[in-house]
Amino acid sequence: MMQIEGTITTVHENARCVSAALAPDNLRSMETKAEEGRVITTITGTQLRSVIASMDDYLMNLAIAEDACSAAKKQRTTQNR
């Protein structure tokens, strides 16, 4: 059986926050880590359609995680003034 693997690497101001926000939504076939200002996610599977669907879901979750972390940072900055 063929193993399919895809990796998505994105750059973030607060990669740890984004990675942590994504973790609860990760499937068993996904691994997400923060490394040097980047979030690196690897998705594996045996069916191309499933891997593509997982990547599509991940990208939507990534956008939400980035927005949440940006909003949290903005709120902390405002409170510290």
Which pLDDT tens digit goes with each residue over 25-69?
899 999 999 999 999 999 999 999 999 999 999 999 999 999 999
Report how far apart, in Å, the C-alpha atoms of 42 and of each of 8, 17, 19 are.
Answer: 6, 18, 12
What's the chain's average pLDDT?
Answer: 92
**Domain residues of the chain, as ranges?**
4-76
Confidence of residue 75 (pLDDT cuts 50, 70, 90): confident
Q: What is the pLDDT of residue 80?
A: 66
Residue type, 56: D
Choose the CATH number for 4-76 among 3.30.70.100, 1.10.565.10, 3.30.310.50, 3.40.50.1970. Answer: 3.30.310.50
pLDDT at 9 over 70: yes
What are 19's two structure tokens? 């990675």
**pLDDT above 70 coverage of the chain, percent:** 94
